[in-house]
Structures are given as C-alpha cells and as structure tokens.
C-alpha cells in the first residue's frame, strides 16, 4: 500500500513559490464538511512541524489543498488578498490524457510547468507565471477553459490545487496525489501566453485546415504517441487504449490502416501488447464511439 511521500509537498512548495510568499493552505474533511484555513509564509509551510501536522491530518481523512497564488499575510483567502499571481491554472476532471494531447498541439501555449494528477484521469495543469494581474489571469483561464473544454468553475485567481505526496480522500479508494515536473524552471510572462480576448472559433465550429499528406499525418501521430504512456493490464489499460485510439483515429484523421501503423510502436510498449485483431477492434470502436473532433489535432 502506498504511503505519504514526505518530500513531495516540500519540493512542490519550493518550486512553485518565492521564499517570501505567503500561501493559503486549506484542509477539508468530507465526513463532516469541516474546513481549516491557514495563511502562512512558505518557510513556515515547509517546516518540519507544519508538515508533520499536514501528514497527521491527511492520514486521518482530511484533504489538503494549497492556493496556486500568493496572498497578503493575514487570515483571508479572498480575491482581494491575492498579491502575486504565480500560476496559470486549468483543471480537467473528465479526460486528462485528452487535454494533454490537445495542449501538445497548441503553438500559442508554452509547455506546462507541471501536471498534477489528483486521481486517475483527472489533472491540474499549471504554468509558472509572473507580472500578470489577478484579473488578467482570470480572463485567460476562462478563455482557455472555453476553448479546451476544461472546468469553467476553476478559473478564479483564488483557485486551489492538491498538495502532491498526500492522499486524495474525496473518492474511494483514496489515491496519492502525483505530479510530473516538466518545464518547472521556466517562468512565463504575458507575452508568452495567448492574448486575452483573442478571436477564436467556437468549439462546435470545425476549423478550416489544409489536408496533410497521409504520411505526414501518420508521422505526427507517431511523434505524439512517443509521449503517451503505454496501456498496462490491471491499470485501466483498456480505457487508456480506447482514449489513445480516439486521439489517433479521429484527432489525426487517419484511416484504419494508417492508425494501426502509427500505433505499432506504442502498442509494442504496452503490457502486454494488443494482438493485431484486438488493436483493429479498438481502432474501429474509437472511430464509431469516440467524441474527439475529426482532425482536431492537426
């Protein structure tokens, strides 16, 4: 059975905030609905005593959250108390792998700083930022949530994320919150991000694009698949394979034969690999039942 990772919360807090920032820590138990809130300096939050208290509370069923931005010292987590915006934030509660696939095709967005896995398939995606006002980051988060179909309720500058290394008790069984550090040393400014209010097509309107040669589409799909985790038996491998096939068949607009060629190297990494007949059925099901926009990743 997994245990609390004592190093993970400290590493995240040190990477995500400046040493003199004050941060909002929120604890909640779903048994009673009780909430505990603290605004503390980062150096206090990473202290042995404070971390031991968080681990004790988490071990007794309390969920632990931290605000993604810095607060004015005091007792308030209100919007007016946010002093420094430290992150651009998106939350995906339905199809985390699908969101990462789409983000990999967005030339106007830099790669995420880190991706936090709150539970299987559910993600928090964060970019480290500076010199951006609370109102501007809220506008941008709302704009991206509309475009990327992520959680539109998670767009306030007071948004919280879970603390890595501790357990998410909201669902059963409880799972330890994980994190992937990607480009976490980079800090982005407004010029690195999409312009707020930039004209975009509604998600329901198909974008006009020039057809790519089939060979190039297959190669782009292969490049995408090199970044995708393989399916593993006993770890929702069947669902993972269906989602991957949807990305390839529909997102890259490939024929069945092209999709199988693109999937061959990825399938070889699966544990165990799918047979030719099984993979063909997955491709057929993805084309028939998937919701990925046709050609949406091109």
pLDDT at 201: 41
Q: Which domains does the chain have, with CATH numbers?
A: 7-192 (3.30.70.1790), 214-289 (no CATH)
Answer yes or no: is pLDDT of 45 > 60: yes
CA distance 163 to 116: 9
Say which residue, 87 or 284, is predicted with more confidence.
87
Q: Terminus-to-terminus CA distance in the chain, angstroms?
A: 42
Mean pLDDT of 32-41: 95
pLDDT at res. 198:
62
Which pLDDT score, from 0 to 100, does residue 215 have? Answer: 63
229-286 pLDDT per residue, tens: 899 988 878 888 988 998 899 888 899 999 999 999 999 999 999 999 999 988 988 8
Q: What is the pLDDT of residue 206?
A: 38
Mean pLDDT throughout 29-46?
94
Cα–Cα distances in Å, from 114 out to 93, 180, 183, 191, 263?
Answer: 17, 5, 7, 20, 26
100-142 confidence digits (pLDDT tens): 877 877 888 999 999 999 988 789 999 999 999 999 999 999 9
The more confident residue out of 47 and 227 is 47
CA distance 249 to 221: 9
pLDDT, tens digit (0-9, with 9 covering 90-100), for 171-219: 778 999 999 999 999 999 999 999 988 654 444 333 333 344 556 788 8
* Cα–Cα dist 222/148, whole Å: 23
């Amino acid at each position: 059975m997994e245990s609390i990772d004592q190093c993970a919360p400290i590493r995240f807090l040190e990477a995500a905030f400046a040493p003199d920032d004050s941060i909002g820590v929120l604890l909640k138990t779903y048994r009673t609905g009780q909430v505990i809130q603290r605004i503390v300096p980062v150096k206090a939050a990473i202290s042995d005593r404070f971390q031991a208290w968080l681990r004790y509370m988490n071990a007794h069923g309390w969920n632990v959250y931290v605000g993604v931005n810095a607060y004015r010292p005091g007792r308030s987590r209100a919007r007016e108390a946010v002093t420094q915006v430290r992150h651009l934030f998106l939350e995906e509660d339905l199809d985390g792998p699908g969101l990462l696939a789409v983000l990999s095709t967005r030339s106007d967005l830099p790669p995420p700083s880190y991706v936090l896995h709150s539970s299987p398939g559910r993600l928090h995606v964060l970019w480290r930022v500076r010199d951006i006002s609370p109102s501007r980051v809220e506008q941008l988060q709302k704009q991206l949530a509309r475009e990327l179909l992520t959680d539109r309720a998670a767009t306030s500058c007071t948004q919280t994320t879970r603390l890595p290394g501790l357990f998410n008790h909201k669902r059963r069984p409880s799972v330890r919150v994980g994190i992937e550090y990607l480009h976490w040393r980079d800090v982005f400014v407004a010029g690195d991000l999409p312009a707020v209010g930039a004209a975009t097509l509604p998600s329901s309107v198909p974008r006009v694009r020039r057809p790519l040669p089939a060979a190039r589409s297959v190669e782009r799909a292969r490049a995408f698949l090199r970044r995708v985790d393989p399916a593993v038996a006993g770890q929702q491998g069947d669902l993972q394979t269906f989602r991957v096939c949807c990305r390839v068949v529909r997102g890259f607009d490939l024929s069945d034969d092209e999709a199988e060629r693109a999937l061959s190297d990825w399938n070889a990494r699966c544990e165990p690999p799918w047979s030719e007949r099984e993979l063909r059925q997955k491709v057929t099901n993805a084309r028939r039942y998937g919701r990925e926009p046709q050609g949406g990743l091109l």
